[in-house]
Amino acid sequence: MSGPPSTPDSPPPGAGRTSRWRENARFAADVVNTLAIPIATLGATIVGVHLTNSLKEREIAIANENNVQSLRNQREQSETALRTAMFRELVGPLLQGETVAGSAGGPGDLPRAQRLALLAELLTLNFHEHFELGPLLRYVDTLPGQTEETRARLRGTARRVISRQLAPMLAVGGGRAEGPPGFLELSLDSDVNAPMDTRLSCALPEASAAAAAGAGALTLQCSATAVGAPLKVTSPDGRDRLQISFRAVNWADESVGVYALVLDDQQAPQQNTPPIEFTLSAYSLPFSDNTLLSSGNRFGIYLTRVDVVPDVVRVMRLSFVWFPRDFVPPRERPLDLDINRPLAAPARSRS
């Protein structure tokens, strides 16, 4: 008898899944091989377009910046040329002799003194940032034949310039919340019965001297004897203390003699520091008439208003200003590297 027929060996478990996985892997590899070059080409194209656009945007930005700078330079050159021509036309008549200036005018022209005052006004309003114009204004003010109306207009122009120059500095210091004030409004109150040409001295009344340290407005009484205490002020950073005396107050020409001492911590005059002495007039301007102390602090005093009512009131309004620490007058023309450098020059007085 023969046995049962033999059957073929059955495949091991999982052999079908392995075969299908290999087929799928080969299919995926074929797809990747087929799409690799197009995908790489597309990626390279996208990157190239992005880089090209970035370079173009950068070139456009640089071109725009160059155009703006070129326009700015052209405008500055045009303004410089215009100011140069204007300055030459204004200064020329001021430097001419009286004979030459008198022969140039027609029968309807103003007298020489008034004509020079008008030119000085235009020069002050347009070039006050670049030149020290106080000597010129004082010269024109004292010319023979100058009228009181012209003098009043000339002094009013100077007060306008003082306000213009003080405005940015007061805006910087206006947000100070504590510490000594950076700005003081001083009133020199004079006896209305005293002659206008009498030279007076001013002092704080003893009653208000103690409370004057933190005040923003003070009134000083002016008389021939100056009974009272001198003004004492402290810089906003507390590094400088000044004792200021107002002498030789002259109402006729609106001038004040200022004598200041730098004090030490014991309220005594600082050793090896000379006093600061100058004459304040209606033509003392902030950008040119200020005093730099050895600590780097800078201060100035300016005549901002005069109130005179015969037999009623006679008051000079002064502004005492501590300049911002980073302020540099335009006339000193600093380099960018010098602006933030600490200043350590000795105290100097103004003429």
Q: How confident is the model at residue 274 (pLDDT cuts 50, 70, 90)?
A: very high
Higher-pLDDT residue of 343, 118: 118
Indicate the range of 71-75, 184-188, 230-234 predicted with least confidence: 71-75
Residue 46 lies in a domain: no
Residue 326 lies in a domain: yes
Residue ranges making up the domain that contains 300: 179-332
Look at residue 235 and tell me whether its pLDDT is greater than 60: yes
Look at residue 103 and tell me whether its pLDDT is greater than 80: no
Percentage of residues in the chain having pLDDT higher than 70: 76
Tell me, what's the pLDDT at 181? 64
Residue 66 lies in a domain: no
Which of 15-19, 110-114, 236-240 is modeled with the greatest confidence? Answer: 236-240
| CATH code (residue 241) | 2.60.98
Q: How confident is the model at residue 341 (pLDDT cuts 50, 70, 90)?
A: very low
303 beta partners: 318
Residue 321 lies in a domain: yes
Question: With a threshold of 0.75, does the pTM exceed it?
Answer: no
Higher-pLDDT residue of 210, 196: 196
Residue 109 lies in a domain: no
Tell me, what's the pLDDT at 178? 53
Tell me, what's the pLDDT at 260? 94
pLDDT mean across residues, the chain = 78
Tell me, what's the pLDDT at 342? 45
Tell me, what's the pLDDT at 205? 85
Q: Number of helices and strands (H, E) in the chain?
A: 7, 10
Residue 153 lies in a domain: no
Tell me, what's the pLDDT at 338? 45
Q: First and final CA of the chain: distance in angstroms?
A: 146
Residue 45 lies in a domain: no
Residue 275 lies in a domain: yes
Phi-psi category of 72—alpha, beta or left, where left has phi over 0 and alpha has psi -120 to 50?
A: alpha
**Number of compact structural domains in the chain:** 1
- Give pLDDT tens digits for 72-101: 888 777 767 766 776 677 666 666 655 544
The answer to whether 190 and 222 have CB atoms below 8 angstroms apart is yes
